């Protein structure tokens, strides 16, 4: 719509311009009004074109409903537990506390936040410095082998570093895995950046 509006304004300006030279010298007021209108039209055209150049891009969304629930992984008295529950203040989003269990005692280690429609995600540490966190944004442009998932599985993808590192949230049956991966064509320095943040199976929320 922006180019159309700008073009219409320019047409109006060009229609008025030829009449300036044919006005009698004594008609000063009319000529002044026409020049003023033309100047306003030109300013409007510039504003419209500037608005087109700065128009925000569409926000990428993705379905994350599959991540909701309580997930756990146990192994000989130790393991991990993740509660991803609906965010009441932001319907469609999820908040989750991740805990590590050692000798039967849970210790919360991090907190996950997923915004509604899967536009963003955040991981904040609860055991380290207050600035120990990672932020992620939806990755609709992630393609090729990086986006392949098993049949009947559900997944959401987020960029940590666009074009380099991405977060994959994958659910396959009752198993949830949250992991970081280097993109297929990423720089060599990211080759060893693979990391599993959480892997566990669906359980009841106590």
Same structural domain, 98 and 175: yes
**E strand or H helix that includes residue 196:** strand 195-203
Q: What pLDDT, in 10s, does the model give residues 111-157?
A: 999 999 999 999 998 876 554 689 999 999 998 889 999 999 999 99
pLDDT for 46 beyond 90? no
The range of the structural domain enclosing residue 21 comes to: 2-53
Same structural domain, 95 and 46: no
Same structural domain, 125 and 82: yes
Residues in Cβ contact with 178 at an 8 Å cutoff, skipping those fewer than 6 apart: 112, 167, 168, 169, 170, 196, 197, 198, 199
Percent of the chain with pLDDT over 90: 49
pLDDT for 106 beyond 90? no
Q: Is residue 14 part of a domain?
A: yes
The closest alpha carbon to 45, from 20, 18, 53, 29, belongs to 53
The pLDDT of residue 68: 94
Domain CATH number, residue 132: 2.40.128
Domain count, the chain: 2
Same structural domain, 96 and 197: yes
Same structural domain, 42 and 139: no
Report if pTM > 0.85: no
User: Burial of 196 by CB count in 10 Å (0-12 exposed, 13-18 middle, 19+ buried)?
Assistant: exposed
Q: Is residue 131 part of a domain?
A: yes
Rg for the chain, CA atoms, rounded: 28
């Amino acid at each position: 719509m922006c180019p159309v509006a700008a073009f219409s304004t320019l047409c109006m300006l060009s229609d008025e311009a030829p009449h300036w030279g044919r006005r009698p010298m004594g008609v000063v007021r009319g000529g002044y009004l026409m020049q003023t209108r033309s100047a306003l039209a030109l300013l409007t055209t510039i504003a419209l074109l500037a608005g087109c150049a700065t128009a925000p891009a569409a926000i990428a969304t993705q379905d994350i409903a599959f991540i909701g629930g309580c997930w756990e992984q146990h192994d000989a008295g130790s393991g991990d537990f993740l509660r991803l529950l609906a965010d009441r203040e932001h319907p469609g989003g999820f908040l989750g506390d991740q805990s590590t269990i050692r000798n039967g005692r849970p210790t919360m280690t991090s907190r996950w936040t997923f915004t509604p429609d899967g536009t963003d995600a955040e991981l904040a540490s609860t055991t380290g410095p207050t600035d120990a966190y990672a932020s992620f944004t939806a990755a609709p442009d992630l393609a090729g082998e990086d986006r392949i998932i098993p049949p009947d599985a559900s997944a959401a993808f987020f960029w940590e570093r666009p074009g380099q590192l991405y977060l994959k949230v994958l659910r396959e049956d009752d198993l949830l895995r949250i992991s970081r991966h280097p993109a297929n064509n990423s720089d060599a320095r990211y080759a060893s950046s693979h990391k599993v943040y959480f892997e566990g199976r669906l359980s009841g929320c106590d």
